[in-house]
């Protein structure tokens, strides 16, 4: 099963509409994510990302709910950088 994961945008590099990239923090790790599909996203926003592509914006409360669900499932360690 594929899952989009919420992450918070820390910085944005805007090289045009199709090349807009963001440094996004997922728990304890940061990854570069394409922001081409969410041109309205700003630093501090939470985005849902899948396969290196932000596919939507969520509020902080919704992101916290998803992180809690992942914690309950035991799948949050990978995002926090504590997986074995």
Q: Is the pLDDT of residue 40 over 70?
A: yes
Query: Tens of pLDDT along 15-36?
Result: 887 899 999 998 788 999 999 9
Question: Which of 26, 3, 15 has the alpha carbon at shortest distance from 82?
Answer: 26
The per-residue pLDDT of the chain, averaged, comes to 86
In the chain, domain spans: 5-80
**Residue-wise DSSP of 6-42:** EEEEEEEE-SSTTS-EEEEEETTEEEEEE-TT-TT--
Q: Domain 5-80: state its class.
A: mainly beta
Q: Report the predicted TM-score, pTM, of the whole model to 2 decimal places.
A: 0.80
- Confidence bin at 84 (pLDDT 50/70/90): very low
């Amino acid at each position: 099963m594929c899952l989009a994961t919420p992450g918070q945008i820390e910085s944005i590099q805007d090289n045009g509409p199709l090349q807009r990239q963001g440094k996004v923090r997922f728990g304890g790790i940061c990854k570069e994510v394409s922001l081409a599909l969410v041109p309205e996203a700003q630093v501090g926003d939470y985005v849902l990302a899948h396969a290196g592509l932000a596919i939507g914006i969520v509020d902080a409360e919704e992101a916290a709910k998803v992180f809690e669900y992942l914690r309950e499932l035991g799948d949050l360690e990978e995002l926090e950088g504590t997986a074995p």
